Amino acid sequence: MTLQMTKTQKLLRIIGNNTVPILFLVICAFGIPLSGYSANYLVSEIVIRISRNSFLIVSLLIPILAGMGLNFGMTLGAMAGQIGLILISDWGIVGIPGIILAMIISTPISVILGWWCGKILNMARGREMVTSYIIGFFMNGIYQLVVLYGMGVVIPIRSNSLLLPRGYGIRNTVNLIGIRRSLDDLLLIRPFGIPIPLATLFVIAVLCLFILWFKKTKLGQDMRAVGQDLEVARAAGIKVEHTRIVSIVISTVFAGYGMILYLQNIGTLNTYNSHMQIGMFSVAALLVGGASVSKANIRNVFLGVILFHLMFVVSPMAGKNLIGQAQLGEYFRVFVSYGVITISLVLYEVRKKRDQHYAGMQLAAEQEAST
Amino acid sequence: MNLQELTSSAKGLVKSFGLPRIIIGLFLLSLFITAPFVGVNIGTSLSDTFNRFGMNAVMVLAMVPMIHSGCGLNFGLPLGIIAGLLGATISLQVNIPGPTSFLLAILFATPFAVILGWGYGQLLNRVKGGEMMIATYVGFSSVAFMCIMWLLLPFNNPTMVWGYSGTGLRTTISTEGYYLHVLNDFLSIQLTDHLTIPTGMLLFFALLAFIIWAFLHTKTGTAMTAVGSNSVFARASGINVDKVRTLSVIMSTWLGAIGILVYQQSFGFIQLYMGPFYMALPAVSAILIGGASVNKASILNVVIGTFLFQGIVTMTPSVMNSMIHTDMSEVIRIVVSNGMILYALTRKTEVIR
Amino acid sequence: MKLALTRIFWIRFVAILVILVFSVLLFFIGKQHTVLLDNKTVTIEGEEIRALQLVEIQINNLEPMELAARDRDKEEVTGQKHSVTIIYTDSNWEEYTIERTFKLPLMQEMVLLSIPTLVANPEADQSLWLENYEPPTYAVTAADSEEEVVTDDLSVLLTDI
């Protein structure tokens, strides 16, 4: 007896593997006409959001490759990027030099934080995702300690517009007028009235090329081996713990850069909240694009950004036109955002068990056939 | 005992108790000691601590069944809280003032807790190994879903709905006139001018704790513990692992519902919409501070942990404010509670799945 | 940590050095300063230099500005080295053009360029007509309280802890 899947089983399998993107396509298909937004508006919104968020989401790819799951600890990289931005705002460095300098400053901070995060994740083998989630919250406390109490006291800040009236601690919002849209406006074209920031998209493209190249390097292959089977990789001589930590470090550094790109587009730094939000919606967007906890590629990133943000943009108006309360649409999109992560996580676990079960059955069938 | 034996036994104590817990305990002790020197009244502080202990203890107790059965830390506590909120709102809608409304709230919350807990348990049974992450997001999604529901459900008690439109519940609803302080004031003991012990609430917690303790010593209870420590062995002994796990989830959800009701009667407000969003984290870190681990918890852990955690949350603002004139309490709370969870997550576990 | 003086070590060391030097360069290139253009009557060494009735001033290649007597305007510039072009008409209805370059001190946020002084001494060293300026502190702190908070609408996904 051989186990072959029927055509319907195969079709169900495809739908099952891509449940989340299909679900989102359906939601968008309903939501877009309901919202009444023009195509022009939607396209320009999506372009802005792609240029703003993609870098952050791409930074999630490497830990997935190394089997660390969804790196909620990218919050740490975001914090490093923000500290870089606070410093250059204080020093009055503007424009592209400001952005590059912020990136340079954030790098050592990201490396240290990523290294520490990776070490802790190695201690929590099998529970990486929850642990990285809690690490994000924990570091938020440390970040507040540094930014709300340390800056101005231990770390010299000269600019009064940054400090709270009491003399130390950074204000809730930092105006990034110096670097606002610096990278975006560098090469802005407007076909059909839709602003497209070519420079930013170019930077994102460079990152994608880097990821593709990285997967082919020895380190990248090591990570893939570690991600597929830890013990086999260890037996093959790969330094498993070290490789896992490196994957988190790289992810954190890129998250820092991504946060800087994100903030240069928005133009204002929400000092105590920005970094907590991006972890959530980056993960959600990646999952919407069809990625799973163990497999993600660049296609997922861009598909995810488009679908997730489309849903996000159209929900309030769609809710208003459908039921009469825009608030409903807003709660709806929050629910969908969290719901998609829940579904993805559940599907991943269920599929993992089913694949193990299936592999076991195949093995049993082969044994039976050979006897 | 010579010096060597003393140090080795001390080391053993530290190791079994855990260094972070000892640090937290000493920290709290130092706060209590410095309090009178900086002008903070010990009586008020103790009063507040007991009050907050009672408010939160039941929700921390809700962690115990699921830890026992091996489902890990119940990050999905918001689901139970929602059951409690449904009970509370329906009880207020029925509009019988006074202490009866509290009993009604419990009565209405129970079926919701059982149904939601059953569904949640079924889900967790299918995802063994990744429970904690999924629990977190189930909690979040359900809170977000209920946000939509609170807007749409047909409540019409004027104390609950928005004034202008008349539909859709308000974000916070006062429990005054219904079950405000129903437990707190029951048999409360006024020791001094500043020190009041909310005996009713503490007795209620003691009752629930006793029920759980007794349950864990019944046949089903020991089955639950067996499933948690070694599920393979439990299955071999004929125990239906899935059924026991679902039962533990239902119990946990129900305790969460009761817990939020106890919280509300003391706090004075029913918090809807995004209120319950992060309520799992304090409960999780409280039980961990009390000595529990991801797969082992006892009632003693609940009591110690809640007291330490709420003590720090109460004392730090008042004492530190008077001392260094800065309110670092928020930051300390974040660092302590999340640090504790991190510590627990990074311990090696002995559970065989 | 053993420090082996291998090739890899030196390559990394040089790389870090290059980045550090580059960062300092960025600091110089990117630092923003505010130049206050002042057309007020000043008194230097007991001698009074009158303000000009009307003067047109241009910093680098930015928009030229017109200043009347007792006017003050400001320009934000990035970097250290700049040029200033002044066109003014004196009492004999003759037009004069003065072009000078000046360097700004690195750590100074604001400087004051006194136009009358420059016009009176067109060949003088910049220290005569360019001075550092400290904004009065009370002016700064009150400013940004009502600033509009621009947030990504994704902030609804997280509430306050």
Question: Do residue C26 and residue A97 have CB atoms under 8 angstroms apart?
Answer: yes
Q: For position B180, what pLDDT does the model report?
A: 77
Give the mean pLDDT of A274-284.
Answer: 86
In a domain, A2, yes or no: no
In a domain, C50, yes or no: yes
Structurally, chain A folds into a number of domains equal to 1
Nearest alpha carbon to residue B153 among B169, B140, B139, B174: B169
**Alpha-carbon dihedral of residues A33, A35, A37, A41, nearest 10 degrees?**
-110
Query: From C157, which residue of chain B is nearest by alpha-carbon distance?
Result: B144
Token reading at B150: 């609170």
Q: What is the pLDDT of residues B96-131, one digit of tens each?
A: 887 888 888 899 999 999 999 999 999 999 888 888
Give DSSP secondary structure letters for A280-326: HHHHHHHHHTT--SS---HHHHHHHHHHHHHHHHHHHHHHHHHHS-H
> Best residue in B137, B143, B146, B278 to probe C by mutation, most C CBs within 10 Å?
B278
Task: Inform me whether the C-beta atom of residue C16 falls under 8 Å from chain A C-beta atoms.
Answer: no
> Best residue in A123, A129, A138, A337 to probe B by mutation, most B CBs within 10 Å?
A138
Q: What is the pLDDT of residues B150-160, one digit of tens each?
A: 888 888 787 78
Could you give the angle at which helices B100-126 and A326-370 cross, rounded to 10 degrees?
40
3-state SS assignment for residue C77: strand
Give the mean pLDDT of A90-95.
Answer: 85
**Confidence label for C158 from pLDDT (cuts 50, 70 and 90):** low
Residues in A 299-358 with any Cβ partner in B closer than 8 A: 325, 327-328, 331-332, 334-335, 337-339, 341-342, 345-346, 348-350, 353
Token reading at B212: 């759980």
Partners of chain B (3+ Cβ pairs below 8 A): A, C
**Alpha-carbon dihedral of residues C153, C154, C156, C159, nearest 10 degrees?**
-130
Q: For position B340, what pLDDT does the model report?
A: 85
Task: Inform me whether the C-beta atom of residue C159 falls under 8 Å from chain B C-beta atoms.
Answer: yes
Question: Do residue A144 and residue B339 have CB atoms under 8 angstroms apart?
Answer: no
Higher pLDDT, B322 or C156: B322
In a domain, A314, yes or no: yes
Question: Do residue A312 and residue C141 have CB atoms under 8 angstroms apart?
Answer: no
Residue type, C2: K
| A chain contacts of residue B325, beta-carbon cutoff 8 Å | none
Query: What distance in Å separates residue C16's CA from the closest CA in chain A?
Result: 11
In a domain, C88, yes or no: yes
| pLDDT for residue A284 is more than 70 | yes
| C chain contacts of residue A339, beta-carbon cutoff 8 Å | none
| pLDDT for residue A187 is more than 60 | yes
The percentage of residues in chain B with a pLDDT greater than 90, rounded to a whole number, is 31
3-state SS assignment for residue B308: helix
In a domain, A237, yes or no: yes
Query: What distance in Å separates residue A294's CA from the closest CA in chain C?
Result: 25
Task: Inform me whether the C-beta atom of residue C161 falls under 8 Å from chain B C-beta atoms.
Answer: yes
Strand partners, C38: C72, C114
**Confidence label for C161 from pLDDT (cuts 50, 70 and 90):** very low
| pLDDT for residue C116 is more than 90 | no
**Confidence label for B317 from pLDDT (cuts 50, 70 and 90):** confident
In a domain, A174, yes or no: yes
**Confidence label for C142 from pLDDT (cuts 50, 70 and 90):** very low
Distance CA B121, CA B130 (A): 13
Token reading at B133: 């992450």
| pLDDT for residue C152 is more than 70 | no
Structurally, chain C folds into a number of domains equal to 1
Residue type, A155: I
Could you tell me the CATH number of the domain that includes residue C105?
A: 2.60.40
Domain interval for residue C59? 32-132
Q: For position B1, what pLDDT does the model report?
A: 56
**Confidence label for A347 from pLDDT (cuts 50, 70 and 90):** confident
Report how far Cα B335 is from the mean position of its chain's Cα atoms: 19
Give the mean pLDDT of B347-352.
Answer: 54
Q: How many Cβ contacts (< 8 angstroms) between chains A and B?
A: 106
Whole-number mean pLDDT of chain B? Answer: 85
| A chain contacts of residue B79, beta-carbon cutoff 8 Å | none
Q: What is the pLDDT of residues A127-177, one digit of tens each?
A: 888 899 999 999 999 999 899 888 888 888 877 778 887 778 888 888 888
Q: In what order do the strands lie in the sheet with C65-68?
A: C65-68, C54-59, C81-89, C95-103
Beta-carbon contacts of C23 under 8 Å, excluding residues fewer than 6 positions away, are A101, A104, A105
Partners of chain C (3+ Cβ pairs below 8 A): A, B
The residue whose two tokens read 């074209």 is A189
Nearest alpha carbon to residue A184 among A49, A39, A25: A49
The residue whose two tokens read 């919050």 is A75
> Best residue in B277, B284, B313 to probe C by mutation, most C CBs within 10 Å?
B277
| pLDDT for residue B245 is more than 90 | yes
Closest partner residue to A331 (CB to CB) among B137, B144, B294 is: B144
Q: For position C145, what pLDDT does the model report?
A: 46
| pLDDT for residue C143 is more than 60 | no
In a domain, A56, yes or no: yes
Q: For position A204, what pLDDT does the model report?
A: 94
| pLDDT for residue A56 is more than 90 | yes
Give DSSP secondary structure letters for C80-125: SEEEEEEEEE-TTS-EEEEEEEEE--TT-SEEEEEHHHHHHSTTS-
Q: What is the pLDDT of residues A68-89, one digit of tens each?
A: 989 998 999 999 999 999 998 8
Query: From A337, which residue of chain C is nearest by alpha-carbon distance?
Result: C157
**In whole angstroms, how far apart are CA B138 and each of A269, B144, B257, C24, C66?**
30, 10, 16, 49, 65
Q: Given phi > 0 = left and psi -120 to 50 = alpha, else beta, which region is B189?
A: beta
**Confidence label for C157 from pLDDT (cuts 50, 70 and 90):** low
Distance CA B251, CA B79 (A): 12
Give the mean pLDDT of B148-174.
Answer: 80
Task: Inform me whether the C-beta atom of residue A120 falls under 8 Å from chain B C-beta atoms.
Answer: yes
Whole-number mean pLDDT of chain A? Answer: 87
The residue whose two tokens read 């997550």 is B345
**Confidence label for B337 from pLDDT (cuts 50, 70 and 90):** confident
The sign of the CA dihedral B241, B243, B245, B247 is negative
Residue type, B23: I
Strand partners, C84: C59, C100
Could you tell me the CATH number of the domain that includes residue A46?
A: 1.10.3470
Residue spans of alpha helices (H) in chain B: 3-17, 19-34, 42-61, 63-68, 77-94, 100-126, 131-152, 199-216, 219-229, 231-236, 241-267, 280-289, 299-324, 329-345
The residue whose two tokens read 């305990």 is B25
Q: What is the pLDDT of residues B273-292, one digit of tens each?
A: 888 988 999 999 999 988 88
Q: What is the pLDDT of residues C18-58, one digit of tens each?
A: 999 998 888 888 888 888 888 777 776 666 677 667 778 88
Q: For position B351, what pLDDT does the model report?
A: 41
Q: For position A4, what pLDDT does the model report?
A: 60
Task: Inform me whether the C-beta atom of residue A133 falls under 8 Å from chain B C-beta atoms.
Answer: yes
**Confidence label for B175 from pLDDT (cuts 50, 70 and 90):** confident
Partners of chain A (3+ Cβ pairs below 8 A): B, C
Give the mean pLDDT of C130-145.
Answer: 60
Closest partner residue to A175 (CB to CB) among C26, C137, C144 is: C144
Determine the Cα angle at A85 with ends A82 and A86, to 5°.
90
| B chain contacts of residue A273, beta-carbon cutoff 8 Å | none
Strands (E), A218-272: 268-270
Q: How many Cβ contacts (< 8 angstroms) between chains B and C?
A: 5
| pLDDT for residue B172 is more than 50 | yes
In a domain, A246, yes or no: yes
Determine the Cα angle at A314 with ends A308 and A319, to 5°.
120
Give the mean pLDDT of A291-304.
Answer: 90
In a domain, C53, yes or no: yes
Domain interval for residue A222? 7-370
Q: How many Cβ contacts (< 8 angstroms) between chains A and C?
A: 88
Query: What distance in Å separates residue C33's CA from the closest CA in chain A?
Result: 8
Token reading at B207: 């009752």
Q: For position B306, what pLDDT does the model report?
A: 93
Q: Given phi > 0 = left and psi -120 to 50 = alpha, else beta, which region is B272?
A: beta
Report how far Cα A265 is from the mean position of its chain's Cα atoms: 17
Query: What distance in Å separates residue C140's CA from the closest CA in chain B?
Result: 24
| A chain contacts of residue C141, beta-carbon cutoff 8 Å | 160-161, 165
CB atoms under 10 Å from CB of B166, counted, come to 9
Strand partners, A188: A197
Kindly provide the b/e burial profile for residues A294-327, where b requires at least 16 CB atoms within 10 angstroms of the residue's own CB: eebebebbbbbbbbbbbbbbbbbbbbbeeeebee
**B282 in Cβ contact with B57 (< 8 Å):** no
